[in-house]
Structure 1
Amino acid sequence: MTTRDTADHRPLDRSDARTLVLSALGGALEFYDFVIFVYFAKVLGHLFFPPGTSDFVAQLQGFGIFAVGYLARPLGGIVMAHFGDRIGRKRMFTLSVFLMAMPTLLIGALPTYASLGVLAPVLLTLLRVVQGIAIGGEIPGAWVFVAEHVPPRRIGMACASLTSGLTLGILIGSLVSAGLSAHLSEAAMLDHGWRIAFVIGGVFGFFAVYLRRWLSETPVFARMRERRELTAELPAWVVVRDHLPGVLLSMVVTWVLTAAIVVVILMTPTLMQTTFHVDPARAFTAGSVAALALCLGCFAGGLLVDAAGRAIAMLVGSLGLAASTYALYLDLRAGAAHLDALYALAGGFAGVAGVVPAILVSTFPPSIRFSGISLSYNVAYAICGAATPVVVGWLATGQGGLGPAHYVGLVSLVGVGSAIYMMVSRRPVYGR
């Protein structure tokens, strides 16, 4: 057995564990910065646009600026991935978290429409664009970083633990939102409460920058650099030219991830209030339970990948996501008698998001892996993530409030189709 074979079959060691913990914690703090915006979408819609708008219009305006961050993701992702494939994973991994922390802190100090007029939403949108650029490089880079540190037979668990860390950022955001809603009046929230959440996020982000100083370059990239195996061509061009089927598969499974995260986890607490008239404190508390279940579900999804394979894990996750989301929304329509239990179940099956990175990592060879994942994931997220808040917000006004569940059900069928494709196709599966 060669030295490389021995390394590939070794168990997880203390160095791997430290890399996973530090990467996941840093990702959690950064992802909090990105998603805290959606929890205050209605508040920001009232504060940064002309006064006198209805709650529904204010919510759509807030969701619209939230969606702008998704449109900016491909730009940041492709540029950072290019340098990640050429000069190293770690440098981009650290830069992305810095680019997230700075605008989050600035949003917390930004004057509102009452002070700046039309310039206020313009500045808010520009800061959201910078956040989108940062997260576009962060998530693909994080998946590549942890996958290239661990043994190949633990890639599912490694990527899922990182994804669980990212979703922990959602849980932190949900807890902060719930705490502020429980202890501040509506007037206080509009006056200064929302700023507290963003200032906390800025501090979190700079702490994440500090944490990443302790990480080392991935062994896979170090080996490619030593052997001069880095591609001399533009990595993104090689991806499009030679790996188009992999790009399409990656985009499809990313669509499933967006439905799980954006609709089930991020939008549902707000939709509970505006569509089903659930008390804000109860909605945010239930959202916190669902976010915790999501963390656990992501990790379980990664373990299932390592045990049964990517296709089976995707199939189980997609079917569970559809069924649990319908159960949740039917209960909301009937009066939300079982809200906490059903939202926790839906949050757990939203853990199909933990299956997706293992599919993406194994779809592209190491020399262009960062660019391949970043291009397909970010373009898909830009399209689906930007359209989803607006489309689902509109769907929530009809079908007795079941529109969001219908959307998730449709996308889940796409996930089932991708699982069947992986079962029957003979596409190459790339390791380290």
Structure 2
Amino acid sequence: MTSQTLPQGATPSAAPRALTRGDYKTLGLSALGGTLEFYDFVVFVFFANVIGSLFFPATMPDWLRQLQTLGIFAAGYLARPLGGILIAHYGDILGRKKMFTLSIFLMAVPTLVIGLLPTYASIGIAAPLLLLLMRVLQGAAIGGEMPGAWVFVAEHAPARHYGFAIGALTSGITGGIFLGSIIGVWLNSTYSTAEIHDWAWRIPFILGGAFGLVSVYLRRFLHETPVFKELQARKQAGRELPLKTILREHRAACVLVALMTWVLSTAVVVVVLFTPTYLQKVFHIAPTAALRANALATITLTIGCVFWGWLSDRMGTRFAMVLGWLGMSVTSYVFYLSLPGTDASLLWSYALVGFFVGSISLLPVVGVRAFPAAVRFTGLSFAYNMAYAVFGGLTPMLVSVWQQTDIMAPAHYVAAMGILGAALGFWPLASRGWQPRGALHNPI
């Protein structure tokens, strides 16, 4: 996208140009920070069983301990709307870059603290309470990070590479899940169960916090987006409370982004985050095998994010949404119905569904252009985080309860969301985006 003069509130122009070295620098630094920040957020779930045994009483029933651990995980999602709305509010008023840097700092510090927290055996009930507080702070930070990253990169990218740039950024964010998987495989391969339980579980949190602080430093080399500079020049930034404008004029866009977030959160939480524990508990697959397959699926997911973003540039957003999310529905059944299977079938079927889960990159492709530039950060952040707080937080518990009566519950849920995502592709707002009055098309 470029920064030429536009109608009030319009999105940037579509003057064709190639990706420059500056574009790649912006994309690389943004994706690196997103990788580290998302790693910090999701690594918790990869060690949920160990954390549950250390931060809750040993006399507590296993199912209740797991439920309370998942509840602390969900608390991070519930904190996302407040953090996301506040960070986005100032992002629309003060600038994208400042809030983009602040969000990763607010993630790195709590992650480091989690790695240093005393356990229940040392400080009693204070241990889970402090863990809960850190998760709330993490949730608030990531609530601003992901929408901020999407907007920041979208407003820098040339129009003809818009989907590719957002897909590449999203692949960097999902790379954080891959990094967590790799650390999980490494820990389980290097240390005994007793060593992980005693002290090694702290390693991924300490590393994540330290590298997160490094990425705070790296983001100082980024530049403010040309779109926000234009808004400031035309004095369109901060004229009215952004959330007030969103709720009055852009409710349809909020609904669209919320429904797409339901699809995204289901794909990420169920297929990527929930399934490693599901494989171990339901099908008694060894932790190392489950995490190895998860790591491979995350690689194909990361590749898929780039592919589906690129496809939206070439074939249109509607085509990419229908193909990507219907494919996710079909391959989810291929994967879950093949369990436990063999080591080989576990790897290839998990990798296949992971590739189609990569179509989650279509949410920001649609979401960024669903709102005008002056309130874009707030609109995307509000709709995305409010929906994720509900669906992302409740999904693990819903699937956990559902699978007690039907072990195919994850497949049914993911498939249903894939069908919903494909149907949303036929909503004109999804394929064309927000349009100022009199516009014949959306420039991005």
Q: TM-score, normalization: structure 1?
A: 0.96
Query: Within 1, Cα distance between the matches of 2:264 and 2:121?
Result: 37
State whether structure 2 residue 130 is matched by structure 1 residue 119: no
Q: Is the 8 A contact 1:331 1:337 kept in 2?
A: no
Aligned to 2:336: 329
Aligned to 1:413: 419
Aligned to 1:307: 314
For 1:49-60, list aligned pairs within 5 A: 49-60=56-67
Aligned to 1:4: 4
In 2 relative to 1, CA 90–112 (structure 1 residues): closer, same or farther, beyond 3 Å?
same
Q: What is the Cα-based RMSD across aligned positions, in Å?
A: 1.8
Query: Within 2, Cα distance between the matches of 1:314 and 1:272?
Result: 29
Bigger mean CA deviation after superposition, 306-315 or 51-60: 51-60
Aligned to 2:113: 106
Aligned to 2:10: none
Aligned to 1:296: 303
Query: Within 2, Cα distance between the matches of 1:110 and 1:87?
Result: 35
**337, 340, 347: which one aligns with 1:340:** 347
In 2 relative to 1, CA 4–425 (structure 1 residues): closer, same or farther, beyond 3 Å?
closer
Aligned to 1:82: 89
Shift of 1:4: 2.7
Aligned to 1:239: 246
Shift of 1:10: 1.6
Shift of 1:208: 1.0
Unaligned stretches of 5+ residues in structure 1: none
Aligned to 1:358: 365
Aligned to 2:209: 202
**189, 207, 210: which one aligns with 1:182:** 189
Q: Is the 8 A contact 1:30 1:204 kept in 2?
A: no
**385, 401, 409: which one aligns with 1:403:** 409
Query: Within 1, Cα distance between the matches of 2:367 and 2:324?
Result: 16
In 2 relative to 1, CA 359–337 (structure 1 residues): closer, same or farther, beyond 3 Å?
same
Aligned to 1:67: 74
In 2 relative to 1, CA 274–48 (structure 1 residues): closer, same or farther, beyond 3 Å?
same
Q: Is the 8 A contact 2:36 2:208 kept in 1?
A: yes
1:315-354 deviations in Å (ceiling 9; x for gaps): 1111111111111111115566600000000111110111
- Tell me the SS of whatever aligns to 1:179: helix
**144, 153, 165: which one aligns with 2:151:** 144
* Amino acid paired to 2:316: G
**162, 170, 174: which one aligns with 1:155:** 162
User: Quick one: percent identity of the two aligned structures?
Assistant: 49
Query: Within 2, Cα distance between the matches of 1:209 and 1:247?
Result: 30
Query: Within 1, Cα distance between the matches of 2:348 and 2:66?
Result: 26
- Tell me the SS of whatever aligns to 1:303: helix
Aligned to 1:319: 326
* Amino acid paired to 2:109: M
* Amino acid paired to 2:174: T
State whether structure 2 residue 414 is matched by structure 1 residue 388: no
Aligned to 2:259: 252
State whether structure 2 residue 49 is matched by structure 1 residue 42: yes
Query: Within 2, Cα distance between the matches of 1:280 and 1:3?
Result: 50
Query: Within 1, Cα distance between the matches of 2:431 and 2:328?
Result: 24
Q: Is the 8 A contact 2:334 2:349 kept in 1?
A: yes
Shift of 1:421: 2.2
Aligned to 1:19: 26
- Tell me the SS of whatever aligns to 1:355: helix
